[in-house]
Amino acid sequence: MTVNRFAAILGMSAALSGCATVRDAPPVAVTPSGRPEAIFEGKSPEQVSGMIASSCADRGHVVVTSSPNKVVCQGDMTAMQSALTQLLIGNSYSTPPALFFEFNLFAVGPNTRVQAREWVETTMAFGQKRSEELNNRAQFNQTEQALLSLGGRAP
């Protein structure tokens, strides 16, 4: 990826995340992986998976996959976000871009640890997928807050 394209992707990530004050806010938590994470004490992966899938549905997202170890949700993008994303990672022959959230769950003793990531993805003309992870501070804080609001605690 060229430096100019990388800079454009960073700009897209900022545009998708909201206002500057949110982008500049300190991180909600510092996690070992640098991604949004939470520990759900006394909860099994099955229980936490159900809570996350339900939260995705409550937010209007489509639950693409739900298992005891992984939940993938597809969110909506505004027309402007979609157009900007298609301009930066797709082309006129690619599918409209989609926004995804993935939550990986695993048992740690009696607790469940969740690690999340967010990305945009499009499919090019000959079937190859192009994606870019969204990992600026605003996305981190929003996803971390969502996990904390479900009863998790920062690791």
Structural domain boundaries of the chain?
3-21+45-149
pTM, entire model: 0.81
Q: How far apart are CA 53 and CA 72, in angstroms?
A: 8
For 51-72, the pLDDT digits (tens) are: 999 999 999 999 999 999 999 9
For 18-51, the pLDDT digits (tens) are: 544 455 678 888 999 999 999 999 999 999 999 9
The secondary structure of residue 127, as a DSSP letter, is S
* pLDDT score, position 14: 52
Angle formed by the axes of helices 137-149 and 3-17, to 10°?
40
* pLDDT score, position 27: 84
- Topology, domain 3-21+45-149: TATA-Binding Protein (3.30.310)
For 113-150, the pLDDT digits (tens) are: 999 999 999 999 899 999 999 988 999 999 999 999 99
The percent of residues above 90 in pLDDT, for the chain, comes to 70
